[in-house]
């Protein structure tokens, strides 16, 4: 196509030059002005066709605009118009400036994961990244995606992020965060109803159902789904349930759960008693030491925190959650 345009352009320029030469030589009298005008029109038509074919494909998408510009520029300015178009367009088309390759490549922001990826969803970087999206991104679609990505986090990590989404400026983000929190609450309530009906139907000889019931009530406080008086009510119900389970068959883990519940209720003496009973029943230091340290901290006995943490084994101390605590106190 470019070869064809290179043929048409010289032909159009040649005919235009013949018409101009005829006018200057006085041929207008024998040939007539109409004949010269027709020659000019023919030259313009050939030249415009050649220049149009020489245009890049992006400029030839809409025919009306480029053709009208070329035709009017060449038709109403004899000789100078066609020659000016050729000298102005062809060098720019065939000797165009080539941009140098950039040292940096611009990449689009990657989408947030809707399904599990190879990155560990428990990783602190993923959790803090989603929080940063909710705090700093102006795009509400991104903030919605951050809320949806919380489905792949543990509930303990997801609920604080979802709660921050309740204060978002966009209705869609707030409603989505509320719906996901409500879904977690409904799931716990449904499990509680199933356990309650099972106890009513078949009893609970070993206390396993009452222990499960205490765990579910405890989850409302542990996940920060309940606040204030509601949280206190849930903890009280959890304490009642775990006491009923221990009455049927006491275990170290049940006394440990009782200690954690009492600690949240700020019943420090009961917490100490429960921890001592759990250790008497064989609770390992890796499980009890963090609770002793927390109890000492809550009581304001900071000199007892480090000795309690020193009871932990190196394996337990390597836990990502406990490592910064041990680095601070030891």
What is the pLDDT confidence band of residue 294, given thresholds at 50, 70 and 90? very high
Q: For residue range 41-93, list pLDDT tens digits in order.
A: 666 676 666 666 666 666 565 566 665 666 665 555 565 556 666 655 665 56
Q: For residue range 162-219, list pLDDT tens digits in order.
A: 888 888 888 888 898 889 999 999 999 999 999 999 999 988 889 999 999 999 999 9
Long-range contacts, 256-260 (Cβ 8 Å, 24+):
256/283, 256/287, 256/288, 256/291, 257/211, 257/214, 257/215, 257/218, 259/291, 260/218, 260/291
CA–CA separation, 230 and 236 (whole Å): 10
CB distance 297 to 254 below 8 Å:
no
Distances (CA, A) of 3 to 8, 51, 196: 9, 11, 87
**Is the predicted pLDDT of residue 100 greater than 70, yes or no?**
no
DSSP assigned state of 206:
S
pLDDT at 235 (0 to 100): 93
Beta strands in the chain (DSSP E): none
Q: How many Cβ atoms from other residues are within 10 Å of residue 100's Cβ? A: 6
What is the pLDDT confidence band of residue 295, given thresholds at 50, 70 and 90? very high
pLDDT at 124 (0 to 100): 43
What is the pLDDT confidence band of residue 21, given thresholds at 50, 70 and 90? low
Q: For residue range 225-254, list pLDDT tens digits in order.
A: 888 898 999 999 999 999 999 999 999 999
């Amino acid at each position: 196509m470019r070869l064809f345009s290179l043929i048409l352009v010289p032909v159009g320029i040649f005919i235009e030059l013949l018409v101009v030469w005829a006018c200057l030589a006085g041929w207008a009298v024998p040939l007539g002005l109409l004949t010269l005008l027709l020659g000019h029109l023919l030259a313009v038509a050939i030249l415009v066709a050649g220049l149009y074919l020489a245009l890049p494909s992006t400029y030839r998408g809409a025919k009306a605009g480029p053709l009208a510009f070329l035709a009017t520029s060449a038709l109403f300015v004899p000789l100078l118009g066609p020659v000016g178009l050729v000298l102005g367009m062809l060098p720019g088309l065939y000797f165009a400036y080539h941009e140098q390759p950039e040292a940096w490549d611009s990449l689009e922001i990657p989408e947030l994961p809707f399904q599990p990826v190879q990155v560990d969803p428990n990783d602190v970087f993923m959790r803090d990244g989603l929080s940063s999206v909710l705090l700093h991104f102006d795009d509400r679609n991104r903030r919605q995606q951050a809320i949806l990505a919380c489905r792949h986090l543990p509930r303990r990590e997801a609920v604080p992020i979802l709660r921050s989404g309740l204060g978002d400026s966009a209705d869609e983000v707030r409603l989505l965060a509320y719906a996901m929190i409500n879904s977690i609450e409904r799931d716990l309530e449904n499990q509680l109803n199933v356990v309650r009906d099972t106890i009513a139907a078949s009893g609970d000889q070993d206390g396993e159902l009452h222990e499960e019931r205490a765990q579910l009530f405890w989850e409302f406080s542990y996940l920060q789904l309940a606040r204030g008086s509601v949280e206190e009510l849930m903890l009280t119900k959890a304490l009642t349930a775990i006491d009923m389970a221990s009455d049927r068959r006491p275990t170290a883990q049940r006394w440990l759960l009782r200690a954690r519940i009492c600690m949240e209720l700020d019943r420090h003496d009961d917490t100490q008693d429960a921890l001592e009973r759990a250790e008497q029943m064989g609770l390992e230091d890796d499980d009890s030491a963090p609770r002793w340290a927390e109890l000492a901290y809550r009581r304001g006995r900071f000199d007892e925190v480090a000795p309690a943490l020193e009871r932990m084994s190196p394996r337990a101390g390597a836990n990502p959650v406990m490592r910064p605590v041990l680095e601070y106190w030891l």
